[in-house]
Chains A and B, each alone.
Chain A
Amino acid sequence: MSAVIIDRRRNVRHKSAVNQQRFLRRYRALVREAVARSIAERKIAEADRDASISIPSRGLHEPVFSHGSGGKRELVLPGNKEYVAGDELQRPSGGGGQGQGGRGSPDGEGEDTFHFHLSREEFLDFFFEDMALPNLTKTQLTAIPQSKRVTGGFRTDGSPSNMSVVRTLRGALARRLALSGSSRARLREIDEELEKIDAEDPPDEERRAELLAERAAVQAAIARVPYVDSFDLRYRNRITQPREIAQAVMFCVMDVSGSMDEQRKDLAKRFFILLHLFLQRHYERIEIVFIRHHTSAQVVDEEQFFHSTESGGTVVSTALELTVAEIDAHFPLDQWNVYVAQASDGDNWGDDSPRCRELLETQLLPRVQYFAYVEVNDGQTQNLWDQYEEASAAHANMALGQVRERSDIFPVLRELFAKKAD
């Protein structure tokens, strides 16, 4: 019996991609919620990873008519050890006769949650969606950074547009010299001998004719050496080079006083993530420093940064002072690009705000590439805002914005994105 064996591995993969898109579209709201939950659990630097997502499976089952529990039913089971006919046994808790039917259900039904995997692109897409990012920016952030292509050496094959004329002709010249060298030496000998013959009296006509014939042959041989041969061709080689090594440090400054609740922190976190994603596009290495403050500021790790609440008042200038101190201590400006992102609900001790502005203008802004401030607050702007606004008007590398919901975050950074989008 003959069989046809076909290699289908090169065929189109991911045939069901469109079905997956349909699934995600159908349960868009649930998936978005799950992505939001996942963001809350992630570290800022890990925001753009693929993810395992779980959504409640209640809403996505495919109902059919089937038997419910109740009534009388029989069940045949294997592996009897001790029972004889007529034995009575207690119903297992959770309803009898449920052992049947759960067999290897590959669609994960029967559990309370449906787990599945989102690729990095899908995940970011959901993340960006409710932040109302412009499409161009989405593409910029989603695309994996390319390494750049530079010329490096020469090669013997390539496209005509990359041909190096100088190299090619230099090679051709060398080859011509090498290939015709012996012939031209012989030509010189012949010419000398002919001169001698011409000087003799009487000239040796027979020898002369012989030499002239040879001279023509040698000249023909020299002419036969091609001017440019195919193996003279040289092309500029282009190699991929990793992006320039550049490093940046990002300071996340956040007010953790009692008035910053979970929801506000979540908004702040998204703000930090977005800035981090942006930096990732432009710098090879990024350090993140977390500075939290209430009446005093301290450097903490990410866990403490987002998940501990302090009570009491707020003195913002302490955080700015600490940031300046940290920069000076650990991040020399000739080696580091400094970015500062500050999130606060705008509450500040009244006398402190002018001091903040002064610190900002004299100390911080000269040191940093960019300073972005968000006021996570749905009411009136506070006194800190007014001071910052004035500073912002005078300095190009500073942006600020009030954030009430997720879609307000991007406009704060819009200018930064526009400037750096190359």
Chain B
Amino acid sequence: MNEPPAPPTVRPARSGREPGAGERRGNMSMPPVSPRHLAWPLPGGSEWSFEQIERYHSEIARVAERYGLDTFPNQIEIISAEQMMDAYASNGLPVGYTHWSFGKRFLATEQHYRRGQMGLAYEIVINSNPCIAYLMEENTLAMQALVIAHACYGHNSFFKGNYLFRTWTQPDAIIDYLVFARRYVAECEQRYGAVEVEQTLDACHALSNLGVDRYKRPQKRSLAKEQALQREREELMQLQVNDLWRTLPLKKHADLPAGERAFPSEPQENLLYFIEKNAPMLKPWQREIVRIVRKMSQYFYPQRQTQVMNEGWATFWHYTILQTMYDDGLLADNVMMEILHSHTNAITQPGFDSPAYSGINPYALGFAMYRDIRRICESPTPEDKRWFPDVAGSNWTETLQFAMRNFKDESFIAQFLSPKLMREFRLFCIVDDDHAGALRVDAIHDDAGYRAVRDALSRQYALSEREPNLQITSVDISGDRSLTLRHFRHNRQPLAGTYKEVMNYLATLWGFTVRLESVNDDGSIESTHECRVEKRAGQRGDAIAWTLPEAFRQHD
């Protein structure tokens, strides 16, 4: 039977209804109207309905597409304030394994919220595909519009475009992995006891910031391919087995000088990875938990490096999109006023001497920088042309996309912070040297200081400067199996006092004595701390009496 081809007229309607089909395609159910001819504004008011949100969304999507924002498909979820606090407590993730620290965060959030000390975040957005954005039911319609523009098109396009996110996160797999982690931890709790699991998780959490690969790119391999490779290696090894080698007299390892048997052969920066692979005493399930924490930490690693860029990008786009809609006559004055009121609050930057000061506001700095880049593209001053010859006068959307895709906070600031912005923020750099009697103003927002201030601010956002540099340098594999962690001091900065507790955690994971050494700026090494784990006499080797960290004892 010859089926006649389907008439072409039904095609658009069908494909338009598929969620996420063709991200660049507009909503087909909307008639293609030129925006300037829409005489009626979108509804406003404090009450919203799903239809209204949908109308707003389709308008926002249209404007975003006009500006060429490339996003994952959106999934907008309306939740209550309490659910928002839940999401808050688990770092914004919709599923999470069970741990007391999340409960602590929830209780703290709830308390702040009750007292009115803190408004809840209007939105939480998850770097997944489809991109999930939470909208709070208490928001007014105008706020929902703001949040949709901010999260569903701002953050979403950042997640999809920025190189760090592209390299390090797998938005297609994250939710599945979260579900796996939750189930796995729950299963471990049933089998091995909640307290056991909690102790392992506590120890891993203490080291989670040091559980990331900073330089080694992940391999984009599927599980099947990974397993195939592993089999291939095994076969190769098998092929090379030559029984003759066995007959050769063994060279005594102990004869080798200590330097040649150094393990690890190179210092290791990813502590959790090293522990997962090498800790002698860990049980298999503990290794898997180490791995889960390590994976989560790696997942959040790009976010920690792109605070200013990410928030600035989202803020820039909600502002630009909604302003465009207002200019097109889509937003009523009162709606726009409410949006601007909220927007202005978000981008306030109090001065350092104001009681409201609490660091540089990433929304304010990021928003100002993207606006400034646009300004330099559209109407550059002679100063801009001197500082940014390749940016001045270029197409602003392309330049902005380039900036968003290829930088992280430190390089973004080093590359794009303009003298004009430093003057506007009145940025200045002070040096706090404990050898000097007073703080010294190193540079301010003037010709002599622009570069110094910009470099200092860039360094301020570099994770390598914000966090201490710690590496595993050696393990005494032929002796007491003790592990040595080396702290490379920068500018004589010591570790905060909590390091002793963290060392205890490290010791519980490693199972043997761990030592901390500090390397001073002049290269000298001093031993700072030792956390001994001793075998109790009369016990088998696998039953080790740890020196338990203080925190664990509170259980009893």
A→B interface (CB under 8 Å): 1-9, 11, 13-16, 18-27, 29, 52, 59-81, 83-91, 96-97, 99-104, 106-108, 114-117
Docked Cα-Cα span, A238 to B496, in Å, equals 67
Residues of B contacting A117 with CB < 8 Å? 107, 110-111, 114
B209 touching A8, Cβ below 8 Å: no
- Smallest CB separation, B39 vs chain A (Å): 24
Residue of A3, A13, A24, A71 near B74 (CB, 8 A) is: A3
- Smallest CB separation, A92 vs chain B (Å): 9
Any chain A CB within 8 A of the CB of B502? yes
Given contacts A5-B76, A83-B441, contact A20 B103 (CB under 8 A): yes
**How many interface residues does B have (CB within 8 Å)?**
122
Residues of B contacting A88 with CB < 8 Å? 438-441
Docked Cα-Cα span, A71 to B102, in Å, equals 34
Residues of B contacting A103 with CB < 8 Å? 358-359
Given contacts A22-B98, A89-B438, contact A14 B86 (CB under 8 A): yes
Pairs of residues from A and B, 7 with the lowest C-beta to C-beta distance, nearest first = A79-B351, A19-B103, A23-B103, A116-B107, A71-B493, A71-B492, A63-B498
Q: Which residue of B lies closest to A19 (CB)?
A: B103
B103 touching A79, Cβ below 8 Å: no
Most buried by A among B105, B110, B459: B105
B105 touching A107, Cβ below 8 Å: yes
Residues of A contacting B358 with CB < 8 Å? 99, 102-104
- Smallest CB separation, A148 vs chain B (Å): 31
- Smallest CB separation, B207 vs chain A (Å): 8
B57 touching A5, Cβ below 8 Å: yes
A63 touching B502, Cβ below 8 Å: yes
Residues of A contacting B427 with CB < 8 Å? 76-78, 80
B83 touching A64, Cβ below 8 Å: no
Docked Cα-Cα span, A24 to B103, in Å, equals 8
A26 touching B100, Cβ below 8 Å: yes
Residues of A contacting B426 with CB < 8 Å? 78-81
- Smallest CB separation, A80 vs chain B (Å): 4
A87 touching B440, Cβ below 8 Å: yes
Residue of B78, B109, B498 near A6 (CB, 8 A) is: B78
Docked Cα-Cα span, A61 to B101, in Å, equals 9
Residues of A contacting B431 with CB < 8 Å? 72-75
B→A interface (CB under 8 Å): 16-21, 23-27, 50, 53-54, 57, 61, 64-65, 71, 73-80, 82-83, 85-86, 88-90, 98-112, 114, 118, 130, 134, 137, 152, 194, 198, 202, 205-210, 349-354, 357-360, 425-435, 438-446, 448-449, 453, 456-457, 459-460, 466-468, 470, 489-499, 501-502, 505, 551, 554-555
Residue of A7, A68, A116 near B495 (CB, 8 A) is: A68
A19 touching B438, Cβ below 8 Å: no
Docked Cα-Cα span, A63 to B83, in Å, equals 28
Docked Cα-Cα span, A60 to B205, in Å, equals 13
Residues of A contacting B100 with CB < 8 Å? 19, 22-23, 25-26
Q: List 16 A-B contacts (CB under 8 A).
A: A1-B24, A2-B18, A2-B19, A6-B75, A8-B77, A16-B86, A20-B103, A22-B100, A73-B431, A76-B427, A78-B350, A79-B352, A81-B426, A85-B446, A103-B358, A116-B111
Docked Cα-Cα span, A64 to B89, in Å, equals 19
Residues of A contacting B449 with CB < 8 Å? 85
B79 touching A16, Cβ below 8 Å: no
- Given A80-B427, A115-B111, 18 more pairs with CB closer than 8 A: A3-B152, A4-B76, A4-B130, A5-B57, A8-B78, A26-B555, A64-B206, A64-B498, A71-B433, A71-B489, A72-B434, A72-B493, A73-B432, A79-B426, A80-B445, A83-B428, A89-B441, A90-B438
B441 touching A62, Cβ below 8 Å: no
A106 touching B108, Cβ below 8 Å: yes
- Smallest CB separation, A20 vs chain B (Å): 4
Residue of A9, A20, A74 near B80 (CB, 8 A) is: A9
Residues of B contacting A1 with CB < 8 Å? 23-27, 61, 64-65, 71, 73-74
B444 touching A83, Cβ below 8 Å: yes
